[in-house]
Amino acid sequence: MPLDLEVNGRHVAVDVDAATPLLWVLRESLGLTGTKFGCGAAQCGACTVHVDGQAKRSCVLPVSAVAGKHVTTIEGLTGPVADALTAAWIEEDVPQCGWCQTGQIMSAAVLLGTNRAPGDADIDASMAGNICRCATYVRIRRAIHRASGKLGGAR
Amino acid sequence: MSGTLLRRDFLRVSAAAGGGLLLAFRWLPSARASEAPDAAAAAADFAPNAWVRIAPDGRVTVLINKAEMGQGVSTSLSMLLAEELDADWKMVGFELAPAGKDYVDPTMHMQVTGGSSSVANMSGPLRQAGATARAMLVAAAAKGWGVPEAQCITDSGTVIHAPSSRSRGYGELAVEAAVLPVPQDVPLKDPALYRLLGRPTPRLDTPDKVFGRATFALDVRRPGMLVAVVARSPVFGGKLKSFDDSAARAVPGVKQVVAIGSGVAVLASGFWAARRGRDALAVEWDLGPGATLSTDALREEYRQKAQTPGAVAWSVGDAASALAGAARTLTAEFELPYLAHATMEPLNAVAEVRADGTEVWAGSQFQTVDQAAAAQAAGCRPDQVTFHSTFLGGGFGRRANPTSDYVVEAVQCSKAAGVPVQLVWTREDDLHGGYYRPLWHARIAAGLDASGAITAWQHTIVGQSITAGTPFEPYTIKNGIDSTSVEGAIELPYAIPNAQVDLHTTQVPVTTLWWRSVGHTHTAFVVESFLDDLAHETGTDPLELRRRLLAAQPRWLGVLNLAAAKAGWGSPAPPGRARGLAVHHSFKTWVAHVAEVSLLEGVPRVHRVTSAVDCGRVVNPDGVKAQVEGAVGFGLTALLYSAITIQDGRVQQSNFHDYRMLRIHEMPEVEVHLVESSEPSTGIGEPGVPPVAPAVCNALFALTGKRIRRLPLRPEDLRA
């Protein structure tokens, strides 16, 4: 039976097993490949999306759990926080291999959405669920501070 | 180096599709070229291809023959070509080149990415390609204006004739340039005139990666494509005996179940169904002798072997006699575990085996090797396999596998199923399925004379060969010694008159592979830790001891002194903290790290790493810094957390909860300083890794008096 979803502001119907993790519905049914598979166990954060504004690991979230909720992926991340973050990410030249970076940005967007002037401890608390095997952490931290500055939240 | 380089053998220009200028260079081994001096006769062998395309709108596209796995080659290689082309950098983009003989590495004779060699090996060919293209654009402009070429200059994608105040853009000139003869041996720029090389340059691939638009192999979609997940032997060397797929086939979405070389593949409409189908398989394995394997037993076996000398890998003077005659001796043993690469993008590939040819999409460090393996699996010739290179969600050596495991699996699945197949490894498959940095044991002994001078050094290494049984064996194994087992231990830079390195190569069914910085991962840890032991034993400052022993090694001293000065070596560390240092040379690059550490409730905390790097003339300073920052984190992960352990033949780790990665709150500040140099450019992908663990452990020794001799670090080893 098709499930009705709202992804990036669009209503879509997908015909999948209700237990299928949201990640695979996004990537395979909807072609939104900016959300990445890293572990399948909510350990690495590469699959992070927003569900009703909260950061969620889509690799362990059954698609049935997001029916009726707003799902946002990197492809649909818009607004001042998104603009500040993506610009800062580019200015700091954060990515190396790049696989984890969209998940990093999705987590950082939730942080800056609630705290425009995060300190290092806030960044640690919000970003520790996102692994970067290339260890771009120095620049992730700098980019979040830079984005905070763009949003007028610099300390 | 130029003596062993391939020479430019053939150069052809044709009008590219779209009317642009396309320059095709063909690089052949000198020996082969001299056998076939007639370029016209050899021309029939050449597929048209290009390092650079210039479109009529002025866009410049550089073809990247190396794997972009995060190390930044798509930018640094583009910079090399664009510099000599005098391109407008804002108009420069890149494409990842497919596998093809025209894109083989001029030194390694294969299209491979490894050994931190991309910039070193490609600098000459790409700069030459850019200079030649520029010369032709100048010739086209001069011809059109009826002026001497010598009166024309180039600047930012424009040819300028100053005497008549005329200029034309490269895009406008592309079609005219394409029909001109190709000049030979165009001189390269004086480096003093460089405008791009040596300047911090933003990566060309960053925006696509930030917005999620970059295409990795797992993002490839083909019409009618199925997704495959494979059940593989739970132990090394196990063979498929039988399987019952009735429950797997009952899983909605599962389309086919096929036996392939490595096990049983479940093909489904998507990943989730394929994985559920794989979980529903009942498979019987003939486990074989691998079922009794345990790393605890291996560690003991290795320890015993290390008590006797192995095959001599390198020797100066007479280490045995000098040890026997020493006033004092010091001996230590070190253990390092198997390590998984754990690339963030799990291994995967897409294959489409058709009657008219095979296509593969993969993130690969081994494009022509994988292409050949794909051909063998598909039952065709390599030139019938179109191998599309995608971005790699991490490589670290795992995507440079002589067995081409994940590519072959994809091809076998597609061939068996008759449809395009995306073969996907889960994270658990990745950690269980090999290939690993080998387990190592080292025993090291030094002799000191009455004055405390080091007179003898003996380093015995025990572990598996990475390259035995692979096509690389003829290049890496000489007289029974795999150079990748002893690199970083042999040719010790320290002035010690009697030194020997010997090796016991073990035979273990665990599959092993190069892991970012390969043999240097263990040799640097052992050598630099033990040198610290000797400094302590002789009451010498660790920096001072190294300075003395490196007096005749200016590039070693250069990074050592720079890192020490920038870290404030010699001044007191902040309260509760201590510093340690290490220096190492790998892949023609020198790196020194000074680590500053403390203990928080008995757990080590690395606050800051100050690094100095000498990689010759720097192409992209910001790229070098990024690689060293990342190498620090990569090295810390291994030091603090990583071990693949095996019991009853089974790998005990399965995902990131028990194969931990460093996380952001554990990342130190990293400060990277570059040695100014006009020496040839060398690599930076790997050389930052080896000195990380010893620098941190030397700092922990300074703090606690406890020496870490077994990795990964266990906090209890730092307690009294």
Summarize pLDDT for B505-518 with one digit per residue, the tens. Answer: 999 999 999 999 99
Tokens 């790097």, residue located? B613
Exposure string for A14-33, b = 16+ CB within 10 A, e = fewer: bebbeebbbbbbbbbbbebb
| Residues contacting residue B469 through CB under 8 Å, at least 6 positions apart | none
User: B246's torsion region: left (phi>0), alpha (psi -120 to 50) or beta?
Assistant: alpha
Task: Name every residue whose Cβ is closer than 8 Å to that of residue B38 and which is 6 or more positions away in sequence.
Answer: none
- pLDDT at res. B102: 86
Of B522, B502, B523, B498, the closest CA to residue B460 belongs to B502
Smallest Cα distance from B125 to chain A, Å: 25
Query: Cβ–Cβ of B669/A138 closer than 8 Å?
Result: yes
DSSP H or E run through B591: strand B589-600
Q: Which amino acid is at B400?
A: A
CB atoms within 10 A of CB B131: 21
Q: How far apart are CA B459 and CA B475, in angstroms?
A: 23
| Cross-chain residue pair B270–A101, CB shorter than 8 Å | no
Q: Which of B207, B272, B393 sits opposite A21 (nearest CB)?
A: B272
Residues belonging to chain A: 155
β-bridge partners, B256: B267
Annotate B401-456 with DSSP letters as a single string: -TT-HHHHHHHHHHHHHTS-EEEE--HHHHHHS--EEPPEEEEEEEEE-TTS-EEE
Rounded distance, CA B717 to CA B706, Å?
Answer: 7
Angle between helices B367-378 and B405-417 (to 10 degrees): 30
Give the CA angle between residues B432, B633, B707 to the nearest 5°: 90
The pLDDT of residue A154: 61
Per the CB < 8 A criterion, the answer to whether B380 and B360 are in contact is no
Q: In terms of CA atoms, which chain A residue is nearest residue B630? A: A135
Q: Which residues of A touch B209 (CB under 8 A)?
A: 95, 98, 101-102
Q: What are phi and psi of B356, to 5 degrees?
A: -95, 5
- Helix (H), strand (E) at residue A137: helix A137-150
Q: Which residues of chain B have pLDDT under 50?
A: 1-49
Report pLDDT for B35: 32
Q: What is the pairing mode between strands B477-478 and B263-268? A: unpaired
pLDDT (tens digit per residue) in B238-287: 999 999 999 999 999 999 999 999 999 999 999 999 999 999 999 999 99
Phi, psi of B331 (to 5 degrees): -130, 145
> Quick one: pLDDT at residue B175?
86
Provide the mean pLDDT of chain A. 97
Query: 3-class SS at B674?
Result: strand
Among B102, B695, B73, B708, smallest CA distance to B383 is for B102
Contact check, Cβ <8 Å, B270/A24: yes
**Residue of B74, B205, B210 best to disrupt the A interface, most CBs of A under 10 A:** B210
pLDDT score of B561: 98
Cβ contact B664–A140 (<8 Å): yes
Residue A62 DSSP one-character state: B
Instruction: Among A137, A141, A146, pick the best mutation site for testing chain B contact (most B Cβ within 10 A).
Output: A137
Is B216–A86 a contact, with Cβ atoms under 8 angstroms apart?
A: no
**Residue B456: what pLDDT?**
98
Q: How many CB atoms lie within 10 A of CB B577?
A: 18
Q: How far apart are CA A7 and CA B64, in angstroms?
A: 36
Amino acid at residue number B240: L
CB contact under 8 A, A73 and B212: yes
Q: Do B664 and A102 touch (CB under 8 A)?
A: no
Report the phi/psi class of residue B263: left, alpha or beta, with left for phi > 0 and alpha for psi in -120 to 50: left
Chain A stretch 5-34, residues whose beta carbon is closer than 8 A to a beta carbon of chain B: 16-17, 19-21, 24, 27-29, 31, 33-34
- State the pLDDT at residue B26: 34
Distance of CA B687 to the CA centre of its chain: 10
Asked if residues B116 and B388 have their Cβ atoms less than 8 Å apart, the reply is no
Closest-CA distance of chain B to residue A68, Å: 22
pLDDT of residue B32: 31
pLDDT number for residue B195: 97
CB-nearest to B670 from A37, A40, A138 is A138
- Whole-angstrom CA distances from B257 to B220, B226, B264, B283 are 22, 11, 7, 12
* Integer Cα distance of A49 and B617 in angstroms: 42
Beta-carbon neighbour count of residue B312 at 10 Å?
A: 15
d(C-alpha B237, C-alpha B226), whole Å? 28
pTM of the model: 0.94
Cα four-point dihedral sign A94, A97, A103, A107:
negative
| ipTM beyond cut 0.95 | yes
Cβ contacts of A106 on chain B, cutoff 8 Å: none
Question: Do B210 and A101 count as a contact with CB atoms less than 8 A apart?
Answer: yes
**Could you tell me the two tokens for A59?**
């690799």
Residues B452-472 have pLDDT tens digits of 999 999 999 999 999 999 988
The answer to whether A41 touches B656, Cβ cutoff 8 Å, is: yes
Q: Could you tell me what percent of chain A has a pLDDT over 90?
A: 97
Rounded (5°) CA angle B468-B469-B473 = 60
Neighbours of B261 (CB within 10 A): 13
Alpha carbon distance B535, B140 (integer Å): 65
Confidence of residue A153 (pLDDT cuts 50, 70, 90): confident
Would you state the structure tokens that stand for residue B446, as one six-digit string?
């030094």
Structure tokens at B536: 């302590």
Chain A, 111-140: which have a CB under 8 Å from a chain B CB?
123-124, 127-140
Location of structure tokens 């994809």: B410
Minimum distance, in Å, between the CA of residue B218 and any CA atom of chain A: 8
Distances (CA, A) of B695 to A1, B524, B563, B590, B599: 59, 10, 12, 14, 15
B53 Cα to chain A: minimum distance (Å): 25
Give the tokens for residue B489: 């231990």
**What residues are paired with B696 via a beta bridge?**
none
Confidence of residue A2 (pLDDT cuts 50, 70, 90): confident
CB A95, CB B209: distance < 8 Å: yes
Report the C-alpha gap between B406 and B676 in whole angstroms: 42
What is the pLDDT at residue B434?
81
pLDDT for position B297: 98
